[in-house]
A = this chain, B = another copy of it.
Amino acid sequence: MSSVVQKSTAAESPLVLLCRKWNNFPSSVAQSRCLPVFFGEHHIGYVRPEHAKVMSENYPKAFREEPDSTRGSTTFSVLSEESLATALERMRTETEIQAVKGWRNELYAIRSQFHLPTLLLIERSAACLFGMRQYGTTLIGIVHHPQKGKCVWLQRRAKDKPTWPGQWDVTVSGGLSAFLDIRQRMIQEAEEEAGIPEVLLKDMKAAGIVSFFHDCPRGMYPSTEFMFEVELPSSFTPKNMDGEVDEFRLVSLQELYEAILDPSFKITACPMAVDCLIRHGYLDIETEPQLIEILESIHVPLDSFYRMKP
């Protein structure tokens, strides 16, 4: 493949500039700078070289850095689930690595691909240190408003949330730490976050998958989001039940487009909003001539990135 150099031109749209922020790993130097992380033959992530060095030197029972002659590069291996857990516990007090400071006491199941068996369990907060794949579910609540036309409910995240406090977000989103019964998980999250009763979700439909790779100071997030969509009656107003949302706001597709361009919108929720704008025909190639690049930034081929060693 040709190298992925993106040259800016004066004509680039605000949305193209934004999409390079939510999907800033594959197109940046980060990818070539990071070490691939393996668990046995399975490529499960990426790690920054400075973290790789600290970990392989101080926790040799858990991690090993070694040259890979077939690639002409260095790889980083996680040696076992048990040694990983022990090392991470020690790293909380012995290192300054940010990811292990935000400990959540929640185990994430790591697999190279979604349909393959779980390879190992890892404390959720540490997954981003190793650039391990994360999965989530997102619901877009649609209302056919008598005056404004097709509208979408947005939520503003509570000011005390550990991540992205006070930022605007799509209707409902939740992480998938266990992978069973995705639809049921979405229904449960919609009830907790937005007070949407199950009866209003009976026509909820699957609406595809959004994948992107976000790199930020906290860590690396290769994310895959299972999208759902439901039409809600205009008489219904979402109401938060679990304290995680401060307010809801109904916006037209035009207002949604404007909202995501504002820095108050959670950058890693923009891909799901863009998917919705494309699905409903608001964004098309005639109004947005760089739509191909934008669409690629919400369909990053993570399954192809994470494959077994040849």
Contacts and interface: CB of A to CB of B under 8 A. Distances in A.
Interface of A: 1-7, 11, 26-27, 31, 36, 43, 113-115, 181-183, 205-209, 211, 224, 226, 229, 278-281, 283-286, 289-293, 295-296, 299-310
Nearest to A210: B295
Given A207-B281, A208-B279, 10 more contacts: A1-B305, A3-B310, A7-B308, A113-B290, A114-B285, A114-B289, A115-B289, A211-B292, A296-B302, A301-B301
Which 5 A-B residue pairs are closest in the complex by CB-CB distance? A205-B281, A206-B284, A299-B299, A115-B289, A2-B43
A295 B299 contact: yes
A299 B308 CA distance: 22
Contacts of A206: 278, 281, 283-286
9 contacts: A2-B309, A4-B307, A113-B290, A114-B290, A115-B290, A211-B296, A293-B303, A296-B303, A299-B301
A299 B296 contact: yes
A5 B303 contact: no
Contact of A26 (B208, B280, B299, B304): B304
A292 B209 contact: yes
B295 A208 contact: yes
B285 A182 contact: yes
Contacts of A295: 208-209, 299
Nearest to A5: B310
Contacts of A43: 2
